[in-house]
């Protein structure tokens, strides 16, 4: 999408629209299409995250440096080599930002999906159980645990990001 500016401009409104739709409002659609089990939760998580990663990746490709691409062409790089060795690495920091945002959203949607759809185990189901039985102390502990899980996942992702793109300022 980001390789060709006309495609980016024509697809942007559509992708941005679907990115803007709260995935939790699509809960009934996922239940009708995929059932009440894990497939629906996975579908909701995927749908919530894919447009964020897509937009960030396309933006990263659009922001890749023209000088580097021109230099690679001067040295005889094919289009495939240009994408593989220049554009991919130029877009990687922005793509990883999209993945980090999507990781946080995935946790949110997973917990909400467990709360809506129910499951035998999971933080969302345990939160719902604590809420409905007025176990306020357990409920707050689960909220804190969910926050710590999100924080830990983010820190782990930042370390991976620093290893993958040491030239970027993460």
pLDDT at 170 over 60: no
Phi, then psi, of 106 in degrees rounded to 5: -60, -40
Residue 80 burial (CB count, 10 A): 8
* Whole-number Å distance between alpha carbons of 65 and 53: 20
What was the pLDDT predicted at 121? 82
pLDDT at 169 over 80: no
Which residues lie below 8 Å from residue 11, measured CB to CB, with a gap of 6+? Answer: 1
* Whole-number Å distance between alpha carbons of 149 and 123: 10
The average pLDDT across 11-30 equals 91
Every domain of the chain and the residues it spans: 5-164
Q: How long is the chain? A: 170
Three-class secondary structure assignment of 112-126: HHHHHHCCCCCHHHH
Burial of 25 (0-12, 13-18, 19+ CB in 10 A): exposed
The pLDDT tens digits for 46-86 are 999 999 999 999 999 998 888 988 898 899 999 899 989 89
Of the CATH numbers 3.90.45.10, 3.40.50.920, 1.20.120.1200, 1.10.3720.10, which one belongs to the domain with range 5-164? 1.10.3720.10
Please, what is the end-to-end C-alpha distance for the chain in angstroms?
25
The pLDDT tens digits for 91-138 are 999 999 999 999 999 999 999 988 887 777 889 999 999 999 999 999
What was the pLDDT predicted at 122? 87
């Amino acid at each position: 999408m980001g390789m060709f500016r006309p495609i980016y401009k024509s697809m942007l409104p559509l992708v941005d629209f679907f990115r803007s739709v709260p995935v939790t409002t699509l809960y009934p659609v996922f239940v009708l299409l995929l059932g009440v089990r894990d497939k629906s939760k996975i579908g909701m998580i995927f749908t919530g995250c894919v447009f964020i990663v897509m937009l960030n990746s396309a933006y990263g490709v659009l922001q890749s440096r023209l000088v580097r691409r021109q230099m690679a062409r001067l040295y005889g790089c094919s289009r495939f080599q240009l994408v593989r060795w220049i554009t991919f690495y130029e877009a990687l920091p922005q793509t990883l930002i999209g993945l980090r945002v999507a990781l946080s959203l995935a946790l949110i949607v997973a917990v909400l999906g467990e709360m809506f759809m129910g499951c035998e185990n999971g933080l969302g189901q345990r939160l719902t159980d604590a809420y409905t039985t007025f176990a306020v102390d357990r409920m707050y502990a689960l909220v804190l645990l969910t926050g710590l899980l999100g924080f830990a996942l983010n820190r782990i992702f930042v370390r991976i990001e620093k290893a993958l793109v040491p030239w970027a300022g993460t």
